[in-house]
Structure 1
Amino acid sequence: MQNSVLPTKIYGLRGFQEKYQPLLYQSVSEQFDLGEHTKYVDLDFRYLLMCASIFAESLEAKYLDAAYRIAQYVIQCDATTENQKVSAAYVLSKMTNQGAINLAIERQRIPADFEDKTPLEFQLEIMNRLMKYSIFDKHENIIPINKFQYEVLEGIMRSDWVSISAPTSAGKSYILLQQIRRYFESVSEGVIIYVVPTRALIQQVEVDVKKMFIEHKMKDTFVSIVPILDKMMESYKKVVFVLTQERLQWLLNDYQDFVPNVLIIDEAQKIGDGTRGIILQQTIEDISRRSSRVKVIFSSPMTSNPEILLEQSNQNVRKETIEKEQVTVNQNLLWINQVFRKPKEWELYLCTEEKTVNLGRLTLGEKPKDAERLPYIAHRLADTISGNLIYANIPSSAEKCAWKLWELRGPEKESTHPEIHELIKLIKDTVNPDYTLAHVLTRGVGYHYGNMPLIIKNEIERLFSEGVIHFLVCTSTLIEGINLPAKNIFVRGPQKGRGIPMGEMDFWNLAGRAGRQGKEFQGNVICVDTNKEELWNYIPPRARKKYVIERTVDNLLIKHIDRLIDFINEGSPRDKSVKFPELEYGFSYLTGEYIRNEGLKDAPSLEKYGKDSIERLERTIGAAIKELEIPPAIILKHSGVSPIAQQQLLEFFRRNELVIDMYTPVHPSNQKALGYYQTIINTIQEILSGEHPGKNYHYSLLILEWMRGYPLSRIIDRNLRFWKGKDKSKNKQAIIRDTMKDIEEFARFKFIKYFACYRDILTFFLETEEIVSGIEFPDLNLWLELGASEKTTISLISLGFTRTTAISLSEILKDQNLDREECVDLLAKINWERLSISPIIQREVAQVVQLYV
């Protein structure tokens, strides 16, 4: 049946469309209070269910979507009989959609024993299907999975390198977690690396992995988010690292003999995401060079070329691509536009591939300003419904949108929920009493962006998923893979940052979060003002398309090779590096290949490119690095920094040999540390990064306070006092946002990257000039990444605690020289009820202690 043309023929029948389309329109429009809309009656459920049963066995998303649409509507409709609802549940069973079946049972739309009400042959079919599409844990518990997830597990068993591609809602993350569990249950020891594109995702995956280990009583496992190997880790035979590509590169650089057993790359399409993509490609190639026995699993949203990710494998490995158009929830694309010359009236449209259908009108209480249309529409359509995400282009817009929603909801929506007030208190304590998030939460509105403290983001996500927060305004962190599925997603003129129109593929990745499997039968992506073409880059979204993966390295070497060669020939000028960072990373990547292969002609990773292009690049790179004195090991280690700039830094140290102490890093606790770090940052900005030095004093103070483990609220308060004396007109919320941004983007990223290179070149200089030997500088990179320099705080963060919690706990533990094992032992002995500590922090402690005690 799967390869049959029957679904195509039925779907194309005029008679089917005449019966199906009224159900489709009614299914969507009934979700909203529309004053004027077409109502349909006399739906032919018997005929539609028969068609749905045929569509359910198709491989194409269009027919699977129709099958699911019919089944879920029949189950929810009050006009259908019990037999019809049971038939609809049978259709869902054929689609292996156990989540929708469980939801229908939970809402008492179908009986829990619906299988018993079907004919005997159907009962046997359902039983056989459940047997096939289920897995078991070591305690013999049955875990139902869908067809896509089944194919993933089968493919992983057959092959060494696997690239899986499916819609956002297909259950990719879930099956990857199950694969981790199954692997550890089948081996006595092993190491898995789970790579995520951003720091924002690390904690989410870490929590999910830990929850799974606790659920399945897997006590012999350890989960780390820090790129270090230590004594406690050695006492565990099974370890999962959850790392970004930058942290993975750090781990590989520091431990040259380290090889994982399994490498999982989530959101693998990010291999085409600028400099981040080049780093990801480098780490994959590094691990592949170290061993051909590593099992590698790539996961990406619905892509047209997932096989491209397998090109980096060794020749002797078994490779497989798994693509599946699994439908687990209906996702509706809706447009809403203002009625001409009636500014308070708006029309809602359903967009399908075939046409756009007017579902009805709604009226707003007043005419909103352009910038406020998004919150007004969201409030009008969904104020009584939880699970609403509103996409904002930048953090300041997110805050303004949330404030307007707070106003629109009114005093009657004041929340009395205790967990909301726990979160508000935590925000006031850890950020600032005047931070607007604490204000808007009082009426069930929140916002979420990448630079916010992790403990606050985690709690916001939890309360949103539980329906306590009704409206959540998000920025582009939502596109990066944050698992925040929603009932409704509201979008207006989306951009990925300031002034950068959101690409079509990013839009569909965002839209894929509409519809919470197991919580909703359908979700909606509501696009506001689609008739204003300038807001939508002149092409409002309409038809879902597959993502085309284009690696950044491919893009550079095929489309921009002349620009890259010019950049190298010009000596990698710093102003061009700042403007076009991919050129710097590309130069560095090719230099690494040149060093490893004594040229580029024999580099395995470059075989796919034209011979003439490789010869040009080889001549260019050879000439550029001919006179370099920097050791190859340093160049290879710092793959995002121009080798020419590295040589220039070495020459700078030689010119300043007599005062080299001025450029030598000291411990953050040193009383004169501020002057030292201001000098170091000035040097880095001038020679390595090329960025404007205007904020260097501010940056120096910031990194010291951050490494010393100062609470965020203290750092923000100092910045507020500074700006109050310098420029009273500067907005308080902007100062708070800028402080968090500088911590994330400068202290925890840019300075780490360049200081690591600076430190290694300084060490090389001091040793080769015999000024000093065997010098060891403070471990600033780890301290900057974690925001702490005390051993106990670092141990707590590496156990999985957020920085906020780790700082609070280190004050309770008092001893600042504890390792991870000692921290766990002491935490297990504390009577938490006696302590005056946030319940949010207590919950975090309970989760960690539950896994390791």
Structure 2
Amino acid sequence: MVLTENEVRLINRILTHDLEAFAAKLKLINKEIPQLEEKLAVQLLNLAERLSRRAIGDQERNICLTICGLVWEHKNKAWDNLPSFLMQVLSRLGLIPSARMVDLNYNIENQEFSNLGSLIAQFAFESKLLECETQVIDDYFITLSTFQKRMWDLIDQKNRIGISAPTSAGKSYVLANKIVHHLHLHGGSCIYVVPTITLINQVSSDLRRLINELELNINVGQTYSEKHISKQSSNILVLTQERALSAISQGEDFFKNLELLIIDEIQNIERVANEDNDRSRDLYNLIREFEDNLTPKKIVVAGPRIKNIDEVVTELFGKEAQSINNDLPPVLNLSYSFIYQSGKVLFRQYSTISKKPKSIIVDNFPVNPLKFFNSVRYNDSSFTLLNSILNNLDPNEGNIVFAPTKASANSIAKNINGEAKLTKELNSLIEYVSNSISPNYSLVSCLKGSTCYHHANVPGFLRTVIEKAFSKNIIKNIVCTTTLMQGVNLPAKNIIARNQSLTTQSRTGAKLTPYEFANLRGRAGRLMKDFVGRAIVLDENSYEASQEGDAVQTTLFEYPEKKLSSGYGERFIESKEEIKQALLAGSKPADENSFNDLTTHIRHMVLRYGDKVFYMLEKTGITISSPEFDIVNTQLRDLAIPAHILIKNPHWDPLVLNDLFLKISSSNFKLPSSPFAHDFVDSLTEVLELVKATTPYYYNKYTKIRSDKVLRKCLIIAQDWGKEIPIRTILSWKGEPSDEDIDHTLDLLNTEITYRLPKLLHPTFSMLEQENPLLSFMEHGAYKPETRRLIEFGISRELAIKISSLLKIEGAPTQNSELSDWFVKSELVRIYETNALNHWENIQIEPHIEGVFYP
């Protein structure tokens, strides 16, 4: 497409107006920016009108979206006809949901758009609506974008599908409705795999809300247990890859011939092609397990901007697989940066329709530029600049600040001087956090400025209420780590990052890739929340320091696609001789290298598949010869450890497990089966010392504890945790804890106690007492059946402990010896209606009871 000089000039004028207006809003320039001229707006809208009527490509569509977004952003309130005009243009672009965002009089209850005032325009708009309208069930219809409708139809037409689209394209919305639609028509069950617990909670909540609203008999679970699988209704399990693999080992029959398998954030499998990473390997192996052995009727994998999504699904599922991709987001995202050049600070604007950034000289940079741009760390200058920006943004806009680490997230949040009005809801949230953790918890003081931090060390129940408070604009600013990039849906108008560094120590440390940084910036502006989103980079010079030339520098602000590699092929070829030598020699993982996981994987595959292993390995990019197979097979047959124990511990090398088995078999270990056992700490200490002595490689891999004193402290906390003692009590056993003590204990709880130590202890427990529930008690922080049932139902651990004491379980209906879904739901409704819980506790259970229908 070739634009005329006048058209180029018009586009440059609106981009320049936006840059100047935003700079003035941030008080960076001493210039009063007049309102957008009506004549310019009309000329731009006419251009968008003409472009939208053509058979347009990505460039034209991006120009149209940019014009619509910026005219809407800088509109005069007197332009009454603007919404109807933009609705027409956006509908031609296939962005009906975006059209809904600009329709100020949209009827949510009846899902009706405003009248456009012209019969011809109305007919054209209604025609587009009909094209994109989709029936979920009976009389419940949704209106999708053109891309979302293509997604919907492709899932109907094909059984193996790959989806690539920008982070704000609304993939999750389509998938949730499609799951409900498909299970309503066909029955059966669905597995939805996501990478984090936070996403499990979010996806489960969205699904429950939709199912309850439609009064459907579909169960949603967050863990697998055969006791909770209803034979009379459909089931949706939302699981991490680890939980899914564990579930398959417990009840393979349930997972055979599923109706649907959804794998979200598929880009996470790439690390298996480049490094030894348990989580990536689990995800890849899970996909292979389903495709090769369990054969769901439909498999959908999805991720942001996967360049070769067609190749990926072909490699995973064969030639019949089909993919769909989309590069046009439904919202406009613009990026801005500060850069120091020739003794001046420039404020830059980057957009997808401009080859070079637009710049404006900053008149009022709030700090000494030499002190700011010469440091990679967040320091006083950084906080002054950040506060200046945040305090000049619209108070009704949600802001996310990216932090490279959990510690820096806490520090940044503490140093944000929010100008918050202590509303009733904010005060109640502060009181809730204070009572749940401690008045000394730094999050309490942060919230007084309407600011908080959000990362893996914040207890899950607090992350839930933080997300809810942020979405309601009770909290204005939220400081996040990289967890933000894994699909967490926080509706933010603005995202601010100092730079793309993942370290606070130097400019040469680990950094987000341009792809990762683009996904981070793409979180600004969310469908159905903000039509225009802005990402602000405080220090563009930090990127220039490691790059050469303007062409490379601007890649930081592009939206690159990722070429995804899957399988082990590349790494296997690189270390083929070393791997085969280790296999033939019967070498065990002892030192860090690039192929320990591959020798372990090959041994497990030989163990599981026998002489069928050649074909199964070849699918993953690995080849071994018949003589090599014979030697490995003989080594495995000679092991003393039972094969079923090896299969239950796929991350551990079979030869190492055999050594551990022999040591344990010759000992007199008796594991505690309850957190109330008097020898809980001593017994587990003894087991861990044996593991450390037998296999220091795995001990150092799975735990960061190097001190006997810290290990003992950790086990004492783990015992209280398993006893269902609330976090507040655990923290304050020696009196009111300091903020440092709180952070340290929460770090132990969220990493060592609920994740690393159970992973390290799992082989020993599977050798000695396969049915011992203690590790599950440690992971969930609960031992009572009713509390665990509530946690499995999706209630946070802290709230589940409180609710379990309020349940009327005498004579309660059971389901395979445990509390039935119907009973749990009805009790949640009863407890909710009796006002036994506070406001923020009620908010956590609302997704479970909204529109609850009892068949």
Moved more, 539-548 or 295-304: 539-548
1:114, CA displacement in angstroms?
5.8
The alignment partner of 1:523 has SS state of strand
Distance 1:223 1:15, change over 3 A: same
Out of 5, 12, 21, the position equivalent to 1:21 is 12
Quick one: distance in 1 between partners of 2:487 and 2:499? 20
1:338, CA displacement in angstroms?
4.6
Out of 663, 667, 675, the position equivalent to 1:668 is 675
1:363 equivalent to 2:361? Answer no
Quick one: distance in 1 between partners of 2:790 and 2:113? 48
Quick one: distance in 2 between partners of 1:745 and 1:583? 25
Partner residue, 1:680: 687
1:756 equivalent to 2:747? Answer no
Out of 326, 334, 338, the position equivalent to 1:332 is 334
Quick one: distance in 1 between partners of 2:545 and 2:196? 28
1:719, CA displacement in angstroms?
7.9
Q: Is the 8 A contact 1:336 1:347 kept in 2?
A: yes
Quick one: distance in 1 between partners of 2:832 and 2:78? 55
Quick one: distance in 1 between partners of 2:501 and 2:580? 31
Quick one: distance in 2 between partners of 1:574 and 1:496? 29
1:478, CA displacement in angstroms?
0.5
Amino acid at match of 1:197: P
Partner residue, 1:557: 572
% identity of equivalent residues: 20
Distance 1:113 1:431, change over 3 A: closer
Out of 282, 286, 289, the position equivalent to 2:285 is 282
Quick one: distance in 2 between partners of 1:535 and 1:742? 37
Quick one: distance in 2 between partners of 1:702 and 1:537? 47
Partner residue, 2:719: 704
1:66 equivalent to 2:63? Answer yes
1:525, CA displacement in angstroms?
1.4
Distance 1:533 1:324, change over 3 A: closer
1:470, CA displacement in angstroms?
1.1
Distance 1:390 1:805, change over 3 A: same
1:201, CA displacement in angstroms?
1.3
Consecutive unaligned residues of structure 2, counting only runs of 5 or more, are: 107-111, 272-276, 813-817
Amino acid at match of 1:89: M
Partner residue, 2:206: 208
1:9 equivalent to 2:8? Answer no
Amino acid at match of 1:804: E
Higher relative contact order (CA 8 A, sep 6+): 2
1:404, CA displacement in angstroms?
1.3
Taking structure 2 as the reference length, the TM-score comes to: 0.86
1:792, CA displacement in angstroms?
1.3
1:216, CA displacement in angstroms?
2.0
Moved more, 246-255 or 198-207: 198-207
1:591, CA displacement in angstroms?
2.2
Partner residue, 2:815: none
Alignment of 1:489-508 (within 5 A): 489-496=495-502, 499-508=509-518
The alignment partner of 1:143 has SS state of strand
The alignment partner of 2:168 has SS state of helix
Q: Is the 8 A contact 2:332 2:531 kept in 1?
A: yes
Q: Is the 8 A contact 1:600 1:615 kept in 2?
A: no
Distance 1:685 1:312, change over 3 A: farther
Alignment of 1:298-697 (within 5 A): 298-311=301-314, 318-338=320-340, 341=343, 347-350=347-350, 354-361=355-362, 363-367=364-368, 370=375, 371-372=378-379, 373-383=381-391, 384-385=393-394, 386-406=397-417, 409=418, 413-496=419-502, 499-533=509-543, 540=553, 541-551=556-566, 553-562=568-577, 564-565=579-580, 576=591, 579=592, 583-599=595-611, 602-607=614-619, 609=621, 618=629, 621-622=632-633, 625=636, 627-656=638-667, 660=668, 662-688=669-695, 689-691=698-700, 693-694=706-707, 695-697=710-712
The CA deviation string for residues 314-339 of structure 1, in whole angstroms up to 9 with x for no partner, is 66x84211112232111112111357
Consecutive unaligned residues of structure 1, counting only runs of 5 or more, are: 1-7, 725-731, 764-775
Q: CA RMSD in A?
A: 3.2
The alignment partner of 2:172 has SS state of helix
Quick one: distance in 1 between partners of 2:492 and 2:445? 23
Quick one: distance in 2 between partners of 1:783 and 1:106? 51
The CA deviation string for residues 410-469 of structure 1, in whole angstroms up to 9 with x for no partner, is xxx243222222221221222222011111111111110012111110111111122221
Count of aligned residue pairs for this structure pair: 799
Q: Is the 8 A contact 2:314 2:320 kept in 1?
A: no
Partner residue, 2:109: none
Amino acid at match of 2:649: H
Taking structure 1 as the reference length, the TM-score comes to: 0.86
Quick one: distance in 1 between partners of 2:431 and 2:803? 18
Partner residue, 2:265: 267
Alignment of 1:822-841 (within 5 A): 822-830=823-831, 832-833=833-834, 835=836, 837-841=837-841
Moved more, 30-39 or 446-455: 30-39
Quick one: distance in 1 between partners of 2:331 and 2:660? 56
The alignment partner of 2:229 has SS state of helix
Quick one: distance in 2 between partners of 1:324 and 1:813? 48
Quick one: distance in 1 between partners of 2:229 and 2:55? 47
Moved more, 707-716 or 621-630: 621-630
Distance 1:535 1:811, change over 3 A: farther
Moved more, 439-448 or 20-29: 20-29
The CA deviation string for residues 108-137 of structure 1, in whole angstroms up to 9 with x for no partner, is 9xxx976542462x3322222111101123
Q: Is the 8 A contact 2:786 2:804 kept in 1?
A: yes
1:35 equivalent to 2:45? Answer no
Moved more, 67-76 or 466-475: 67-76
Q: Is the 8 A contact 1:149 1:172 kept in 2?
A: yes
Q: Is the 8 A contact 1:350 1:356 kept in 2?
A: yes
1:512, CA displacement in angstroms?
1.4
Alignment of 1:693-772 (within 5 A): 693-694=706-707, 695-718=710-733, 732-762=738-768
Quick one: distance in 1 between partners of 2:475 and 2:783? 36
Q: Is the 8 A contact 2:194 2:239 kept in 1?
A: yes
Q: Is the 8 A contact 1:271 1:281 kept in 2?
A: yes
Q: Is the 8 A contact 1:488 1:525 kept in 2?
A: yes
Amino acid at match of 1:700: L
The alignment partner of 2:452 has SS state of strand
Quick one: distance in 2 between partners of 1:609 and 1:833? 59
The alignment partner of 1:170 has SS state of coil
1:552, CA displacement in angstroms?
5.7
1:311, CA displacement in angstroms?
4.2
Amino acid at match of 2:390: A
